[in-house]
Amino acid sequence: MATTPNSQSPLFARTNLAAWCVVPFDAKKRGPVERAEMLHRLGFQSFAYDWRAHDVPSFDAEVEALKRQGIRLVAWWFPTDAEDPNALVILEVCRRHRIHPQLLPTIQASGWFGPIALIAEQGGDAEVTLSDDLTGLHWLSLEIAKPGSGGPRPAFHQPH
């Protein structure tokens, strides 16, 4: 029996949402501890780690901060170039911390059964963007279940 997605659907459950693209697109440039605290405040239990070269030295701190907040690192943006030395660094951090995230060179829409990623790629404050994403997803799930039940369409913040 097919089910209609709604706010109680496992598809839209907070346990099935992952914040993604937070690190490189957060205007506040939070560090690992502040980022993990922000994700926890917003109710995220999963995180997909997107990074840039200057983030490599903080990989261990990122994993440790997420663990302290009870947030699972479910995916890690992985270099597509086999010669990229960061690939070995990522694998070593995963081994050392005994974590097993999906290594993602790209997200494939077909066949994806992992968490749904909410992307903070607007160029503003990642906390505001992710909060808007959650608000919009909640409204959308109500509208999918019963058109008109979500009330007025939410207004979203504009990135600065």
Report pLDDT for 111. 46
Q: Does 34 fall in a domain?
A: yes
Report pLDDT for 122. 63
3-state secondary structure of 139: helix
Q: Does 63 fall in a domain?
A: yes
Report pLDDT for 52. 92
Q: Does 43 fall in a domain?
A: yes
Q: Does 129 fall in a domain?
A: yes
Distance (Å, whole) CA 46 – CA 51: 16
Domain that holds residue 36: 12-145
Closest CA to 126 of 14, 25, 41: 25
Q: What is the H or E stretch that residue 79 is in?
A: none
Q: Does 35 fall in a domain?
A: yes
Determine contact, residues 133/12, Cβ cutoff 8 Å. Answer: no
Q: Does 47 fall in a domain?
A: yes
3-state secondary structure of 116: strand
Q: Does 150 fall in a domain?
A: no
Q: Does 157 fall in a domain?
A: no
**Tens place of pLDDT per residue across the chain (160 aa):** 333 444 455 777 778 888 988 999 899 999 999 999 999 999 999 999 999 999 999 999 999 999 999 999 999 988 877 678 898 899 899 999 999 998 877 444 444 455 666 666 666 788 888 888 888 878 777 766 677 888 888 887 776 5
Q: How many domains does the chain have?
A: 1
